[in-house]
């Protein structure tokens, strides 16, 4: 099966680009978020390609005044991975690794036409590999980049101009193996106890970006982590990698939601850096398909273009429902570095906390903080 991608020198196997190995859970995804400097407007989008399922899907979600409005789109991929359109939603690579255009023509009252420009070369995060018993759960690579946005968006009768002086955000590209589409009906033996502890904090400061993430096992031992500071304009590999990173999370009583957090790190010269995070608003990641009960990534929604809108208020959604666990808190951040360095920034504190986590005192699947 030949496709447009076969014209480009991007093959990774002896097969045509339409194929991607033998694992049906292979995916290739774009993710975006953007936010105003005061945190009053937040938007996010995702587009995923699933070659083995022959599906491409996407979603755009906008959070304003405590209300989150989402549009979910899906269609057959038709084995053509270079066609990054899902009906009225499109992603265009304007300049690889630097500029991306994201567009949603008016759909169910939502519209978006924005361009992202990276502040520096993207970082490559350590490869994520995780098994559940004998089965591969995750095996993927991700690159992440902070940047500034230009364009406009609209929610029903409200139009918002997006200017780079006021709107920053993050994009990532990830590809590999993750659970997608219909769950596997074959149970694992023995059945594992669900556990996932994930924090991701891409943050925009005036002249630099800060990236930190961690996955913990049930004992609080990291199995994937990185902390790096990336000054504006630097090239690949020129970020400042930090060590001994420790994140301290204070939970809202009776929940697993972050109420505040602080991060302590050390740079290569042995100097201390600290970042504090205070939430300004909650965005549910199910609004762009992550963990959604109905519109999850790779779900089969028919052999034609399918579009649906959904609205909800995150503050009124019960935190302990599984599809509401994965969130991004819009956060005000403060960086304190060596020689009296201080700066204020804004970013996201993404969290997904399920199952046991000894440092937090979580002893069940969904018990809250004491």
Domains of the chain: 27-180+194-360 (2.40.370.10)
Contact 148, 171 (CB under 8 A): no
Residue given tokens 């139009």 in the structure block: 159
pTM, two decimal places: 0.97
pLDDT in tens, the chain (370 residues): 888 888 888 888 888 999 998 999 999 999 999 999 999 999 999 999 999 999 999 999 999 999 999 999 999 999 999 999 999 999 999 999 999 999 999 999 999 999 999 999 999 999 999 999 889 999 999 999 999 999 999 999 999 999 999 999 999 999 999 999 999 899 899 998 899 999 999 999 999 999 999 999 999 999 999 999 999 999 999 999 999 999 999 999 999 999 999 999 999 999 999 999 999 999 999 999 999 999 999 999 999 999 999 999 999 999 999 999 999 999 999 999 998 889 999 999 999 999 999 999 999 999 999 8
Nearest CA-CA partner of 236 in 122, 145, 80, 329: 122
Which DSSP string do the residues of 192-209 spell out, in sequence order? PPP-EEEEE--EE-SSEE
Nearest CA-CA partner of 248 in 202, 290, 199, 299: 199
Helix or strand (DSSP H, E) at 358: none
Contact 166, 160 (CB under 8 A): no
Contacts of 239 (CB under 8 A, 6+ apart): 120, 123, 228, 229, 230, 231
Residue given tokens 């630099």 in the structure block: 208
């Amino acid at each position: 099966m030949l496709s447009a991608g076969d014209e480009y020198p991007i093959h990774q196997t002896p097969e045509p680009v339409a194929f991607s190995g033998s694992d049906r859970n292979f995916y290739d995804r774009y993710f975006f978020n953007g936010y105003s400097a005061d945190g009053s407007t937040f938007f996010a989008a995702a587009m995923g390609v699933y070659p083995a399922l022959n599906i491409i899907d996407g979603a755009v979600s906008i959070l304003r005044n405590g209300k989150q409005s989402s549009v979910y789109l899906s269609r057959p991929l038709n084995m053509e991975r270079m066609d990054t359109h899902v009906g009225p939603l499109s992603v265009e690579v304007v300049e690889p690794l630097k500029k991306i255009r994201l567009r949603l023509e008016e759909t169910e009252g939502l519209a978006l036409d924005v361009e992202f420009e990276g502040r520096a070369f993207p970082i490559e995060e350590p490869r994520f590999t995780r098994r559940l018993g004998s089965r591969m759960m995750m095996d993927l690579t991700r690159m992440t980049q902070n940047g500034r946005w230009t364009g406009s968006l609209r929610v029903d009768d409200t139009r918002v101009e997006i200017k780079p002086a006021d709107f920053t955000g993050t994009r990532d590209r990830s590809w590999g193996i993750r659970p997608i589409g219909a769950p596997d009906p074959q149970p694992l033996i023995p059945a594992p106890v669900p556990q996932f502890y994930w924090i991701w904090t891409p943050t925009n400061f005036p002249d630099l970006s800060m990236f930190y993430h961690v996955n913990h096992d049930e004992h609080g031992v990291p199995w994937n982590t990185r902390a790096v500071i990336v000054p504006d304009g630097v090239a690949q590999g020129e970020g400042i990698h930090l060590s001994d990173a420790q994140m301290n999370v204070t939970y809202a009583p009776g929940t697993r939601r972050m109420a505040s957090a602080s991060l302590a790190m050390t740079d290569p010269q042995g100097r201390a850096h600290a970042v504090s995070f205070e939430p300004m608003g909650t965005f549910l990641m199910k609004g762009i398909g992550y963990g959604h009960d109905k519109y999850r990534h790779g779900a089969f929604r028919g052999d034609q273009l399918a579009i649906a809108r959904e609205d909800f208020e995150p503050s009124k959604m019960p935190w302990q429902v599984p599809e509401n666990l994965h969130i991004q808190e819009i956060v005000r951040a403060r960086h304190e570095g060596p020689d009296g360095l201080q700066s204020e920034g804004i970013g996201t504190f993404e969290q997904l906390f399920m199952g046991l986590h000894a440092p937090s005192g979580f002893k069940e699947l969904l018990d809250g903080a004491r």
